[in-house]
Amino acid sequence: MNLCASSFKFNLPGCRRCLRLSKPLISASLTVSLFSHQNPSSSTAMAASITTDTSKPKQMEPWLIVGLGNPGKKYSATRHNVGFEMVDTIAEAEGIPMSSVSFKASFGKGFIGDVPVILAKPQTFMNASGESVGAIVSYFKIPLKQVVVIFDDMDLPFAKLRLLPKGGHGGHNGMKSIINHFKGNTGFPRLRIGIGRPPGKMDPAAFVLRPFTKQEREELDFTLQDGLEAMRILLLEGFDKSATFVNSAKKIEQMG
């Protein structure tokens, strides 16, 4: 029998068409087995020469990116809701719909590159954010090292970013709630977005609910794009490269 000469015709599983191959269908290892002067059992030789890996690749665990804020038009586009805005920026850029409500959150599932990601904006109001975040983490069994929380920070200059691998709540009530629902565990990354300090003797509670000026809005939009790139680097290349990007961007802005 001449295995190298004529064409082959065979059916693929799940495919109604048959394929006709005009080229030899023999690998180097298969040729040795078929044309060896030895005479092993043909079925044994074929089984030893042709191996098919039917094992499925391990499914990647999803990342959870949470932006903190308050629901409702009253709080939209205020300083306290920059976490929401950051998630909206990611969702729009990556084509992830946020149309569903699950786990007391505006919720979306998709990918950044080839990495599965869940985006969430808790609708519990800021001080009870942990109710939503804790439920998502528990249901999907997400490792805390793959939970990123994005929130406003008065201790950072306006529109500045800071990415940390872990830490306390820093007096932020939303973070307090999340850490409480994580049973005190603070070992999860967070992206802080600076909103600056209130002017004069203004009550901080009133300050965080103030809208942005036109100039602040323009500056914040650039920061949100930096935050988007930082999240992409974090998921695709790791924390260290993402933190370096955030810090380098900050230094370039200061030099400019």
Q: What is the pLDDT of residues 98-108, one digit of tens each?
A: 999 999 999 99
Count of Cβ atoms closer than 10 Å to residue 232 Cβ = 18
Token pair 């307090």 in the structure block, residue? 176
Q: What percent of the chain has pLDDT over 70?
A: 74
How open is the CA angle 129-244-176, to the nearest 5 degrees? 20
Element (H, E) at 133: helix 129-140
pLDDT at 101: 95
pLDDT at 60: 85
Could you tell me the pLDDT band of residue 92, with boundaries at 50, 70 and 90?
Answer: very high
pLDDT at 11: 45
pLDDT at 193: 97
Element (H, E) at 116: strand 115-122
Query: What distance in Å separates the CA atoms of residue 230 and residue 195, rounded to the nearest whole number?
Result: 18
pLDDT at 122: 98
Q: Is the pLDDT of residue 109 over 60?
A: yes
Q: CATH code for 61-245?
A: 3.40.50.1470
pLDDT at 249: 62
Active site residues: 80
The token duo for 103 is 């786990």
pLDDT at 67: 98
Q: What is the mean pLDDT of residues 54-65?
A: 76
Q: Which DSSP symbol is given to 61?
A: P
The token duo for 246 is 């955030």
Query: What distance in Å separates the CA atoms of residue 133 and residue 121, rounded to the nearest whole number?
Result: 9
Query: What distance in Å separates the CA atoms of residue 105 and residue 130, rounded to the nearest whole number?
Result: 11
- What CA–CA distances, in Å, run from 21 to 2, 12, 49, 113? 15, 13, 20, 35
Query: Which of 110, 105, 120, 102 has its CA nearest to residue 64?
Result: 120
Kindly report, residue by residue over 1-33, the tens digit of the pLDDT. Answer: 444 444 444 344 444 444 444 444 444 444 444
* Pure H helices in the chain: 28-35, 42-49, 82-94, 129-140, 173-181, 204-207, 214-237, 239-255
Kindly report, residue by residue over 189-239, the tens digit of the pLDDT. Answer: 999 999 999 999 999 999 999 999 999 999 999 999 999 999 999 999 999
Q: Is the pLDDT of residue 57 over 60?
A: no
pLDDT at 54: 52
* Pure H helices in 20-75: 28-35, 42-49
Q: Indicate the domain borders of the chain.
A: 61-245
Query: Which of 109, 133, 138, 134 has its CA nearest to residue 121?
Result: 133
Q: What percent of the chain has pLDDT over 90?
A: 72
CB 25 within 8 A of CB 47: no
pLDDT at 59: 72
